[in-house]
Structure 1
């Protein structure tokens, strides 16, 4: 009987700093590289994880020494991304004005994710924001 080489759910805790965002994206790329068709999620997943991680760092009211946890896993053929933080605030969509330099990240998540949401963490401390990424299909030219 063949053994499945599909990676299980991956989790890592990173410093709550914007400078940790590239590390989160690097870990996602490594996870996807182990999947037979991980390239079908790569571009969208990397953008979404970067936005969710940066939002957790920038908008959390948690103490600065708290870590931000990322979780990555497959559910069927969908990629699930989670970003956990100890903050109490919940993300909310709002329209950014044309002169604002920030405030569009969650709009990107809303447009590019198949679904997304926010849930309280077990134990009642903080929350996690999750996004589901559908595989993209590339069609080779005939």
Structure 2
């Protein structure tokens, strides 16, 4: 399933949390910690196991197509780091996990043999999610999966922001901040 936009309208969003990760082997683990905290904050721990499994599969695929970082980067390589982005969107009766990567190729379900060691990630996503798909973003794509909440999510407290960015905006690294950090470290050495 492929859509050109996220599977929700901005007015439906109750909560949003997002995280940018360097495309390394540890990205899936870091995303699980982030999502566990977000789900706890949202009082949605009942669906934690399914969300973490779906996110792990989507982040692993995103890291694979973005390119795993082979070694720690040098300072002059920081602006060219391959990043993946994880966003958790809370709706009234479900959550949406979105993972951005740099590839514009849509995800494809693979048919693998019983003895294959990999290739079943999107099949798991399909089984656990009520629906899933992808859409193009500036510089890549987002793959999303919507999972039903077992209880309605609480309302956002009055005055709390909806996450700052529009739902369809792709987050990106703050290159200016990275340059200032690098300049500060260069002068300190």
Q: Show CA shifts across 1:3-25 (max 9, x none).
A: xxxx7301110011121111000
Match of 1:84 in 2: 100
1:44–1:112 contact (8 Å) kept in structure 2: yes
| Superposition TM-score, scaled by structure 2 size | 0.63
Give the Cα separation in 1 of the matches to 2:136 and 2:49.
28
**Structure 1 77/101 Cα, relative in aligned 2: closer, same or farther at 3 Å?**
same
1:134 aligns with 2:148: yes
1:9–1:71 contact (8 Å) kept in structure 2: yes
SS in 2 for 1:41: helix
Note the C-alpha offset of 1:88.
2.2
Match of 1:75 in 2: 91
The structure with the largest strand share of the pair is 1
- Looking at CA atoms only, which structure, 1 or 2, has the larger radius of gyration? 2
Give the Cα separation in 1 of the matches to 2:16 and 2:149.
17
Structure 1: segments with no counterpart, 5+ residues:
1-6, 138-142
1:22 aligns with 2:46: no
Q: Show CA shifts across 1:88-124 (max 9, x none).
A: 2221112111121000011000111010001001x3x
Structure 2: segments with no counterpart, 5+ residues:
1-13, 70-80, 152-189
Q: Show CA shifts across 1:62-97 (max 9, x none).
A: 695221000001112100100001112221112111
| Superposition TM-score, scaled by structure 1 size | 0.83
User: Which has the bigger relative contact order, CA under 8 A and spacing at least 6?
Assistant: 2
The structure 1 segments of at least 4 consecutive aligned residues displaced by more than 3 Å after TM superposition are 61-64
Q: Report how many residues are paired.
A: 128
Matches within 5 A, 1:40-119: 40-58=46-64, 60=65, 65-119=81-135
1:9 aligns with 2:16: yes
The structure with the largest helix share of the pair is 2
1:62–1:85 contact (8 Å) kept in structure 2: no
1:80–1:133 contact (8 Å) kept in structure 2: yes
